[in-house]
Amino acid sequence: MSLLESLLMRQETLTPVYVRISHWINAIAVILMVMSGLKIYNASPVFNFLIPRSITLGGWLGGALLWHFAVMWLLVFNGILYLFANIYSGRMKKKFFPIRATELVNDFIDSLKGKLTHDDLSKYNSIQKLAYLAAIADLILIIASGLVIWKSVQFPILRELLTGFDHARVIHFLAMCFIVFFLFIHLIMVALVPKTLLIMLRGR
Amino acid sequence: MSEKKRIFSPHEKEIIKDIHKELEIPSRRMFGKRLLSLGAISMLTGCSLDNDESIESALMVISRFNDKVQGILFDPNRLAPTYPASMITKPFPFNAYYDESEIRPNPENFKLKLSGLILDKKDWSLLELMALPQTSQITRHICVEGWSAIGKWGGVRFSDFLKRIGADTSAQFIGFRCHDDYYTSIDMATALHPQTLLSLTYADEVLPAKYGYPIKIRIPTKLGYKNPKYVKEIFVTNVNPGGYWEDQGYNWFGGS
Ligand code: HEM
């Protein structure tokens, strides 16, 4: 077994090491992107409010842009590696699919009653599946709209898909809001089921 | 020409003024001290990343890498979108590193100077430039801050001008010096792009003082700060001349 295969296939752990590494790299990258992005937002707010300086990164527009366009590489390449390994190893299909509507409804009702159990931590419930897939899809949208803002002349098809430069800015901002919302819920869930944090850290 | 706020919000004007004040202090010009907003990051990491020169230089290395990536992404034949006259932004925003009340346009008897790797370095008067074949286009000006505005610029296709003066188009950079002490530079591929203009008019009239009389280099494939106004000298070189904002940390390539 090659090193790559052993990294991808090892079954004695609940969460393979590449998922854990890429998850934490992603978490750091997302937080740095959000903080530097909010500083960039302040230079020319699309909406009628400013972000408090204390939660922004970069000090001034030029510094924030340096951070944003540096950390973006981490976000993108880490994301590509995660997706590639996850799909190639079959883990994506196994962990996230299928999501059945009836399961979603049942899990949702259970969660409202506080009865949604996390007994089997090797499986995601349908709400988790949906939430994680939504986060992944949202990050892809963030990257696509970011590309249109960064190089709108050089990505004409993407630009037209997102209906132009100005709309891409709004989409980029709203998609950022969604990931922050996801993170907020995600952190609450981790606090409620702390065992998952251990699994995400050491695999068991 | 960038980093100046227009209509968006009163607070932002304050912040920009703040930044300008800071930039006026020479020791602050190196942006390292302002690179990080400490409250947040030191809470996250439990240590202070203030004044961390290794972070600053790492970020600059990546910015140089991003110059290269943008050079590769830049397609010399891909045109920036053009728009109908009805979509022109009115009034087109004024933008510079100083306030609109401090405009310093070139004098009436102005002559454009040429230097560096150029065969025919004779000066050009505005009338001589206007006698060359003219073209115009309606394009979107995108500012590094994120706002954009559509305007109509006319003038001499820059690649035609470079050929006419015998510029060495195998050189790497074109530098611009401006009457308001602004300066910037671009790569040769962008200089030769068909939409790059040595522009002499805005909205079919001689460039008004606030839009850069008498010469603005209009480059729809680059961000606003790479579109110098009040240009008084153009030079061709193989040594990267940097730029007013670029030397403070804005990305050099600044493509869009
Ligand atoms: C915005 C940043 C974040 C994003 C986008 C994100 C996204 C995700 C995704 C997609 C998964 C599923 C991964 C997989 O199984 O392939 C996951 C799992 C997990 N994340 Fe995050 N995450 C972020 C930040 C965090 C943070 C800051 C923490 C810790 C406090 C955390 C803790 C966890 C844990 C414990 C799991 C495993 C949950 C379980 O096994 O049920 N995440 N995260």
Q: Residue A44: which of B34, B145, B221 has the nearest Cβ? A: B145
Inter-chain touch B33–A59, beta carbons under 8 Å:
yes
At residue A2 the predicted structure's pLDDT band, cuts being 50, 70 and 90, is: low
Residue with tokens 């004409």, as numbered in its chain: A156
Q: Where are the domains of chain B?
A: 10-73, 85-248
pLDDT in tens, B177-198: 999 999 999 999 999 999 999 9
Q: Residue B143: which of A44, A69, A153 has the nearest Cβ? A: A44
Count of domains observed in chain A:
1
Q: How far apart are CA B161 and CA B120, in angstroms?
A: 11
pLDDT in tens, A171-198: 999 999 999 999 999 999 999 999 999 9
At residue A14 the predicted structure's pLDDT band, cuts being 50, 70 and 90, is: confident
Query: Is residue B43 less than 8 Å (CB to CB) from chain A?
Result: no
Query: What's the pTM value of the predicted model, to 2 decimals?
Result: 0.87
CATH topology assigned to domain B85-248: Sulfite Oxidase; Chain A, domain 2 (3.90.420)
Is any atom of ligand 1 closer than 6 Å to the C-beta of A147? no
pLDDT in tens, B104-113: 767 778 899 9
DSSP secondary structure of A163-196: TSHHHHHHHHHHHHHHHHHHHHHHHHHHHHSTHH
Which residue owns the Cα nearest ligand 1 atom 12?
A132
Inter-chain touch B249–A153, beta carbons under 8 Å:
no
Inter-chain touch A58–B5, beta carbons under 8 Å:
no
The answer, yes or no, to whether ipTM is higher than 0.95 is: no
Give the minimum alpha-carbon distance from B83 to chain A in angstroms, rounded to a whole number. 12
Tell me which of A28, A57, A66, A160 to substitute to probe the interface with B (most B C-beta atoms closer than 10 Å). A66
Q: What is the pLDDT of residue B32?
A: 40
In chain B, positions 129-148, which contact chain A (CB-CB < 8 Å)? 140, 142-148
Eight-state DSSP code of residue B77: T
Residues of chain B positioned with their CB less than 8 A from the CB of A69: 62-63, 66, 251
Query: Is residue A44 less than 8 Å (CB to CB) from chain B?
Result: yes
pLDDT in tens, A98-125: 999 999 999 999 988 888 877 788 899 9
Structural domain of A87: 3-202
Q: How far apart are CA B92 and CA B143, in angstroms?
A: 13
At residue B30 the predicted structure's pLDDT band, cuts being 50, 70 and 90, is: very low
Is residue B172 within 8 A of residue B237, CB to CB? The reply is yes
- Tokens at B219, concatenated: 């480059």
Best residue among A179, A190, A196 to mutate for probing ligand 1, ranked by most atoms within 8 Å of CB: A190
CATH of the domain at A83: 1.20.950.20
Q: What is the pLDDT of residue A6?
A: 60
Task: Give start and end residues of each alpha helix (H) in A10-164.
Answer: 17-43, 61-88, 91-96, 101-112, 126-150, 156-161
Q: What is the pLDDT of residue A10?
A: 54
Roughly what angle, to the nearest 10 degrees, separates helices A61-88 and A17-43? 150
